[in-house]
Amino acid sequence: MVQKYISPNRGIFMADPIDGAQTRNSGTDSLVAFIMAAGTAELTADVVEKTKHHIVDTVAAMISGLTLDVGKRALQIVPLLEGRPEAGVAGSPVRLPFQHAAMVNAMLAHADETDDSHEKSKFHPGCGIVPAALALAERQKADGRDIVRAVALGYDVGARVLEALGPMPLNMAGHASHAIGPLFGCAAVAANLLGFDASRTGHLLSYAGHETSGLSCWMSDSDHVQKAFVFGAMAAKNALFSALLCEQGWTGCPEVISAERGLLHAYGTGEGGRSLDEPMILGNEILHSDIKKWCVGSPIQACLDSLEAMLPSIPADVEQIRSVDVEIQANEVFIVEARAMPNISLQHLLALFLVDRELTFDSVHDVGRMQDSRVLAVRKRISLIPSIELQEAGGRQAIVRVNLADGQTLRHHTPCVRGTWKNRMSRDEIDAKAFGLVEPILGRSRARDLLDGLWKLETLSNERWVALTGLFTGELPRGC
């Protein structure tokens, strides 16, 4: 039976089911056809630009992660993973097998809350997908445009698989959407860059289905170590290792998504959005992905935007602040309420902002500031209010009221936080964020050269972009 799909370049094409597949429409058939079409599809200029935004942002997160505890722990295992020298690792002179390089770089990319997110499907795409694409492209000698296409494809596949499952109910049931999305995204990256045919791509998706794992109890991790593994490293490692097996001829189930006892049966919540049989357009999900203006947890972004907007009217003397009321989506309160990690604790970060009247990368990661007497005094006056109305409205929203001692109340509603897909950061803003993260580690000249090169990624040959990555792999400047 021949089936019809919407191709990534907006045309219609016909595709036969993969070998041995059921002849009805299925999630696996749809994903295979989409991945196959992506291999030759032309990217729009907007998709190329937005994809580079996310690659630059993720590389900056990897490099800044080198200074954090998670990054230091990640680099400690590099000597244990040595083998074929196929891909570089940030902050290390050692080259590793591609799947191990991707895993370590993914740990670095989610060493904190700097990396991007996909709000609708509840996962962080970049921290797994970008390291996987870079490592495998280095092994395959792919060029910069191949990387851009593979990354955009990975965002599409990861987001749409999660949407079909129903991400928020999935998380509430104990399964981590943050692990599942990047797993399928990395598998799509691998199928694309390895040039798999439809049959082998179907087998790889079968392995991804069986590798599906991750528990939402990652929230109890106060060190961010297992969280980094769940959000990015586990997906990159498992997907690329599975791709290696399929490259060598290992086979899997012909239908893993929609089959009886398959992915949708085991993990589907019945509350998903678009099915995998609905049209997929290459680059659509990266256009709907968010980049963080602030290096803190996603649900806190809009709260800080509101405080920043009101800052000229807020007294510098914090004793003049009687109380602060903060409304965010009800279903996201548990993610950020009074957390032990400073960069995902809403009350701490708002208090820190009011005391310092700014936030820096260093300050939001300073555990010692959680015991600062001035910060603690303001923190006690901050109330977090779950809002069903904001939850139903969706998006990254917050309403913040600052009640002053003189009886005045300042109020600001951020309906669409800066950096989200509806309120995009410009290239200049993302470049400034990235430069601020990497310049203290690489030095001014090296950081500038790296970012200037990444902004031209789609024009670079394999040799040129691999040379560019040498600015943050190998020996780093002394003291870094």
Burial degree of 404 (CB within 10 A; 0-12, 13-18, 19+): middle
Asked if residue 204 and residue 114 are part of one domain, the reply reads yes
Residue at 185 is within a domain: yes
Domain membership flag for residue 473? no
Query: Among residues 414, 431, 450, which one ends one of the domains?
Result: 414
Beta strands in 28-174 (DSSP E): 87-89, 92-96
pLDDT reported for residue 480: 55
Give the global pTM. Answer: 0.92
Q: Residue 31: inside a domain, yes or no?
A: yes
Q: Is the predicted pLDDT of residue 210 greater than 70, yes or no?
A: yes
d(CA 400, CA 419): 19
- pLDDT the model gives residue 374: 97
Question: Do residues 284 and 304 both lie within one domain?
Answer: no
For residues 377 and 241, membership in a common domain is answered with no
> 33 and 114 share a domain?
yes
Q: Please indicate, yes or no, whether residues 315 and 249 belong to a single structural domain of this protein.
A: no
40: which 2 tokens? 């030759």
| Cα–Cα separations (whole angstroms), residue 208 to 153, 169, 194 | 16, 21, 16
Given a cut of 60, whether residue 7 has pLDDT beyond it is no
φ, ψ of residue 82 in degrees (nearest 5): -60, 145
By CB atoms closer than 10 A (0-12, 13-18, 19+), residue 83 is exposed
Q: Could you give the angle at which helices 45-65 and 427-442 cross, rounded to 10 degrees?
A: 30
Amino acid at 171: N
State whether 307 and 335 are in the same domain: yes
Burial 30-50 (b: 16+ CB within 10 A, else e): bbbbbbbbbbebebbeebbeb
**Where a domain ends, among 268, 291, 314?**
291
Distance CA 442, CA 4 (A): 50
For residues 357 and 276, membership in a common domain is answered with no
Residue 471 lies in a domain: no
Domain, as residue range, for 404: 299-414
Q: Which of 369, 385, 414 is the last residue of a domain?
A: 414
Tell me the pLDDT of the chain averaged across its residues.
92
466 lies in a domain? no
Residues 274 and 377 both lie in one domain: no
- Residue partners of 118: CB distance under 8 A and separation at least 6: 124, 125, 155, 158, 159, 181, 285, 288, 289, 290
Q: Evaluate whether residue 368 is within a structural domain.
A: yes
What CATH number has the domain bearing residue 385?
3.30.1330.120
Q: Are residues 255 and 306 located together in one domain of the fold?
A: no
Euclidean distance between CA atoms 216 and 176, whole angstroms:
5
Considering the domain architecture, whether residues 309 and 229 belong to the same structural domain is answered as no
For position 478, what pLDDT does the model report? 58
Tell whether 458 is covered by a domain. Answer: no
pLDDT in tens, 48-94: 999 999 999 999 999 999 999 999 999 999 999 999 999 999 999 99
What CATH number is given to the structural domain containing 212? Answer: 1.10.4100.10
- The verdict on 211 and 306 lying in the same domain is no
Q: Which band of pLDDT confidence, cut at 50, 70 and 90, is reported for residue 477?
A: confident
Mean pLDDT of 232-260: 97
Q: Is residue 310 part of a domain?
A: yes
Q: How far is Cα of residue 387 from the mean position of the Cα atoms in its chain? A: 25
The predicted-structure confidence for 154-181, as pLDDT tens digits, reads as follows: 999 999 999 999 999 999 999 999 999 9
Residues 259 and 220 in one domain: yes
CA dihedral (158, 164, 165, 168) in degrees, to 10, reads 80
Q: What is the distance between the alpha carbons of residues 390 and 75, in angstroms, rounded to a whole number?
A: 41
171 near 122, Cβ under 8 Å? yes
Cα 166 to Cα 268: distance, rounded to the nearest angstrom: 7
Q: How large is the average pLDDT for residues 458-480?
A: 88
Tally of structural domains, the chain: 2
